[in-house]
Amino acid sequence: MQQTRLRILDALADGPVSGPDLAAWLDISRNAVWKHVEALREEGFDIESSDDGYRLQSVPEYGEAALQFDLDPEYEIEYHESIASTNSRARALAADGGSDVVVVADEQTGGRGRLGREWVSPSGGVWLSILTRPDIPPHSAPAYTLAAAVATARAVQSVGAGATIKWPNDVQLDGKKLAGILTEMEGEADRVSWVVVGIGLNANVDPGDLRSEQPATSLQATVGEINRRELVQTLLAEFADLTTDLDAVVPAWREFATTLGTRVRVETGDSEVVGEAVDVAFPGTLIVETDEGRVEVTTGDCEHLRPAE
Ligand code: BTN
Distance, CA of 90 to CA of 98 (rounded, Å): 8
Q: Determine the pLDDT at residue 309.
A: 53
Single-letter code of the amino acid located at 283: P
Distance, CA of 215 to CA of 190 (rounded, Å): 39
For residue 307, pLDDT over 70 is answered with no
* Å from CA of 127 to ligand 1 middle: 7
Q: Determine the pLDDT at residue 73.
A: 79
Render pLDDT for 9-60 as a digit per residue (tens, 0 to 9): 989 988 899 999 999 999 999 999 999 999 999 999 999 999 999 999 999 9
Q: Determine the pLDDT at residue 269.
A: 84
Alpha helix segments (H runs only) across the chain = 3-13, 19-26, 30-42, 64-68, 86-95, 142-158, 219-222, 228-242, 249-254
Counting atoms of ligand 1 from 1, which one is nearest the CA of 200?
9
Q: Classify residue 11 by its DSSP letter.
A: H
Counting atoms of ligand 1 from 1, which one is nearest the CA of 105?
10
For residue 279, pLDDT over 70 is answered with yes
* Å from CA of 264 to ligand 1 middle: 23
pTM: 0.93
Residue pair 72/233 in contact (Cβ under 8 Å)? The answer is yes
- Which of 101, 127, 211, 303 to mutate to test ligand 1, by most ligand atoms within 8 A of the CB atom? 127
Counting atoms of ligand 1 from 1, which one is nearest the CA of 84?
14
Render pLDDT for 126-145 as a digit per residue (tens, 0 to 9): 999 999 999 999 999 999 99
For residue 258, pLDDT over 70 is answered with yes
Torsion of CA 101, 118, 137, 268, to 10 degrees: 160
Contacts of 96 (CB under 8 A, 6+ apart): none
Closest to 285 (Cα-Cα) out of 271, 268, 303, 270: 268
Q: Determine the pLDDT at residue 100.
A: 97
Q: Determine the pLDDT at residue 226.
A: 97
* Å from CA of 59 to ligand 1 middle: 27
For the chain, what percent of residues have pLDDT higher than 90?
Answer: 86
What are the pocket residues of ligand 1 if the criterion is a CB atom closer than 6 Å to any ligand atom? 85-87, 108, 111-114, 117, 119, 121, 127-129, 180-182, 198-200
Render pLDDT for 213-248 as a digit per residue (tens, 0 to 9): 789 999 999 999 999 999 999 999 999 999 999 999
Nearest CA to ligand 1 atom 2: 113
